[in-house]
Amino acid sequence: MSVKENYGEAMPSLDAAVSVMRDQHSEVYYNKMEWIISYLVAMGTKLVLMNDITGARFLAFFSYYFDQYSADADVRDKYWQQRVCELVKSDEHTLVKYLRRRIPCKCLDDKYKEVKSITKLGWCINAECPSGQRVDRSKMLCCSGCNQAHYCSRECHVADWPIHKLYCNAAASEKV
């Protein structure tokens, strides 16, 4: 099962769980969310230092998801859903940089020096991407309709359009 399929199945459940927490346990949601995010970042950092990159990716994913989900819409990163996906499949450079910017200590400095030469990879949203969905981030193209979906090529955008147009039109109409 591809990341896109996992993401497609997991995100509505995660959104629903966070909504229930916000609506039924607002004291936890509003008073503890910052602590939860900090804990996830700290544990992700610990896993990177233990070379458990897969575990660190998922903790980074959840910390970024909660951070963006709890942010006001006008402050939220407009590419947040794409970045959530990228963190799950991230290269070590992206992962370490993400965590390093969010911790007060210098414990990831040596690891960052070790991985900073790794090319940052983006995630092509086309599930049938011939490059395996992970491509050099500097070469990514952004959908001009919604500015949320990223592709490695025009061919991938065209191939994904039958699926993406449902989300693209909804996202574009929200901008108005």
pTM (global) more than 0.75: no
Banded model confidence at residue 140, pLDDT cuts 50, 70, 90: confident
Q: Which of 107, 116, 115 is nearest to 49 (CA)?
A: 107
Q: Which of 99, 100, 162, 96 is nearest to 125 (CA)?
A: 162
pLDDT tens column, 95-133:
999 999 999 899 999 999 999 898 888 888 888 888 877
